[in-house]
Chain A
Amino acid sequence: MREISGEVRDGSVFLRLSGRIDSGNSAEAEKEIFRITEEAPSGPVEIDAEELEYISSAGLRVLLRLRRKHPKIRICNVSSEIYEIFDMTGFTQMMQVDKAYRVVSVEGCEEIGRGANGTIYRIDMDNVVKVYNNADALEEIQHEREVARTALVLGIPTAISYDVVRVGESYGSVFELLNARSFSKILATEPEKMDWCVKEYVELLKKIHGTEVPEGELPDIRETVISWGEFMQDYLPEEAGKKLLAMIKAVPEDHHMIHGDYHTKNVELTDSEVLLIDMDTLAVGHPVFELASMFNAYIGYSELDPSIILKFQGFDHETAKTFWEKTLALYLGTEDPEKIRSVEDKARIVGYTRMIRRSIRRGGLTNETGKAEIAHWTEELLELLARTDSLVFFPFELEAAADRAQLQAVTEFVDGHLEAAGCPARAQMQIGVAVEEIFINIASYAYGEGSGRARIRVEAFGDHAVITLTDSGVAYDPLAKEDPDTALAAEQRPIGGLGIFMAKKMMDEIRYERKDGCNILTMIKRY
């Protein structure tokens, strides 16, 4: 019959389907298929569906029966329409179904981004294509699509690819990116927008780092960094190597999102919003690992040759340095150079570790440039290791003695973060009141006559802030306390008892939780 042809070669079955396969011809098609497969009754089957125009459920049932005898089936060259049928009916889960790919050329197209595993080109006004370095990138593409979807669902503004195409010998994924300009381009052409870029860039970064990811949905970067630390054991003096690895292992597990390659080419300004792209490195982990790759992007890679940054980002070394410093200060919510330096040191330790390993693996020790780089980075790393004892810092969290004397430090910490995030004065004062009341409550009662500590976490966004206060004192739900009667006259009003009530009134949402021996009070203020 016309719709089915094929043959057996080396024990494998090759079938070609064409035209329509539906209830009108499925019985005949089945007979024909099994006639061809007779010679290899259970061998693998490869089906070329390039000419297939339609397949109905009767046709799909034939494939199911074929699968009973031939468990290994691959269907290739599937058009988008037919792929949809396979996808909807669950066939893509049961057998390998490979789409036919549209061919796209990027010759003469503007390069708008370059990441660890691919390059992004603009193919027309509204669309970009990310061309993967690896020729066999279908798995990577699938991975990136999945993580981008995870991020989008969790509220991160990103673009999801809608098509996979062939670009020369590689694959590419196509995204819609309307009228977009990368932050690199803005910084290169409109230097007066530096502070605006820093503000938007940090806000998005805080949003990423403030996003909790359900377990197992994204890889844990800590494991990767541990493997870098293990690699370094052969290239550092014994003691320094041990210290490095111990410090990496001491970084606590963290289920918040990190982008993994967060530099200004991967942040795009569209007509209406700031979008994050190049999602394949998305992971969970402590923010020190993010800052490490940011340090490398702006400073590390071009430390010995400042022209590298110009080639990579399109702006010069000075711009990169200023942008990085401003970003770090705003992200940490402090102007204190010592605090900033101490966090930067931690980021540099991880950053140098990564660059040294990368260079060695690429044969850096066999050429002069590579050797010079590795020697310089190693020297910096050893110097940092000698004066640093931990990679951990708490970007949005202050730990303080649960003591009234700490109120000023707490207030300054909270105000600093809110101010950096552009929180309006009125909301800032109201949050201040709520934080004071809860903190003083903890300081007064949580540890009875003894002493203990409290943690204050601030996550400030463009339109709301989340403040969390935690103590490990006696279980106590302050919200359970009855509200005072605010209608009483002065003589009847008791002195005191207003604090918790005020905290409740100042916030939009407030909830208490007792978990792992801790009192956790979460407060949300919208503005």
Chain B
Amino acid sequence: MTITKAAEADKLELKVAGRLDTSTAPQLEKELSESLTGVKELVMDFQDLEYISSAGLRVLLSAQKIMNRQGSMKVTGVNEIVMEIFEVTGFSDILTIA
């Protein structure tokens, strides 16, 4: 998994590519805990995300809870296979998917 970061004022965009699983989720979790302070608008670009497991969902849910308090979070570029996982787990209702 690779994370590409683009920050501008209080807007943060994270492009997550590859596999978001038990092995790689801690990396994203760390990135978020270090970068979310003062962020009002978070965009997660999943265009190149190939795989997500419950470990990845956990990080997304934590991020969503934080952003509910301090601003907004949006997920973009979700492919069909990842979308299906969001749907069966109810995450398609929790996340704002554009």
Contacts and interface: CB of A to CB of B under 8 A. Distances in A.
Interface of A: 404, 407-408, 411, 425-426, 429-430, 432-433, 436-437, 440, 486-491, 493, 495-496, 498-499, 501-502, 505-506
B58 A495 contact: yes
Q: Which 7 A-B pairs have the closest CB atoms?
A: A486-B90, A499-B54, A498-B54, A505-B88, A490-B94, A436-B53, A490-B64
A487 B22 contact: no
B interface, by DSSP: helix, strand, loop or mixed? helix
Interface in B38-83: 50-55, 57-58, 61-62, 64-65, 68, 80-81
A495 B50 CA distance: 22
Contacts of A499: 53-54
B6 to A, nearest CB: 25
B23 interface: yes
Contact of A429 (B23, B51, B54, B55): B51
18 contacts: A426-B81, A429-B81, A430-B81, A433-B52, A436-B22, A436-B53, A436-B55, A440-B22, A440-B55, A486-B90, A487-B90, A488-B90, A489-B93, A491-B65, A493-B61, A498-B54, A498-B57, A498-B58
Contacts of B88: 486, 502, 505-506
A408 B23 contact: yes
Contacts of B93: 487, 489
B35 interface: no
A392 B58 CA distance: 41
A430 B80 CA distance: 12
A487 B88 CA distance: 10
A505 B88 CA distance: 7
A255 B85 CA distance: 38
B27 interface: no
A404 B23 CA distance: 7
A493 B90 CA distance: 10
A485 to B, nearest CB: 8
Contacts of B13: none
Most B CB within 10 A of own CB, among A429, A437, A495, A496: A429
A433 B51 CA distance: 8
B23 A407 contact: yes
